[in-house]
Structure 1
């Protein structure tokens, strides 16, 4: 697969910048309205990862639409029956849930998280 922008070292810098903005007083609450950091365990490595993602919420369901899914890997951890995920600092606290990745007929991918608590 060709190396796309989502696989470049620039993404790590941008992700760290957004996480920094999310934690700033004043600006943080505004940024966190559409961004959250997720924590999950890699399906093959067993390592814990954290990454910021855009999301939409409806009650106890959070939807993370994946832009350019073929250039990203993290969502594949939630194929099939899905798996556990933590959304950091959602509602002022870490929220656990169960995430399942779904691919639509057009090739788009969304990860649906059902919050546990």
Structure 2
């Protein structure tokens, strides 16, 4: 049986479920939410609504997401070019914004989100 890709899909799904559980935990949630959020967006090709946990940094109405191992992931490709809308779980609510993904000369990918209005 051949190995296909860096991580088996079921392992990624289990990890994402675990992170989601930690984010909502009464004991650890507040700490985890400072560094991890969940992005929800509509896939460009599939048209399906997709949610995935990501690490982030926030400065006012700008959220920066550094994509770790971008070649092993595809979600960020929905935001290349002119970008696309998404929702982030911030401030104990869903915050909408516009995200644009950029790959630098070293292959690193950053998704920059400009949040809409105030919470």
1:63-113 deviation line (CA, Å, top 9, x unaligned): 00011111100000000000000002x012110000000111101000000
Report the counterpart of residue 41 of structure 2 in structure 1.
40
Please list every run of 5 or more consecutive structure 1 residues that lacks an aligned counterpart in the other structure.
none
Query: SS in structure 2 opposite 1:25?
Result: coil
Length-normalised TM-score, structure 2: 0.92
Residues 1:62 and 2:63 aligned together: yes
TM-score calculated relative to the size of structure 1: 0.94
Point out where structure 2 has 5 or more consecutive residues left out of the alignment: none
Moved over 3 A (4+): none
Provide the C-alpha distance between the structure 1 equivalents of 2:93 and 2:14, rounded to a whole number of angstroms: 25
Structure 2 Cα separation of the partners of residues 71 and 14 of structure 1? 15
Number of corresponding residues: 114
CA distance in 2, matches of 1:22, 1:16: 10
| Structure-to-structure mapping, 1:37-116, within 5 angstroms | 37-88=38-89, 90-116=90-116
For the aligned residue pairs, the C-alpha RMSD in angstroms reads: 1.0
Between the aligned partners of 2:22 and 2:103, the Cα distance in structure 1 is: 31
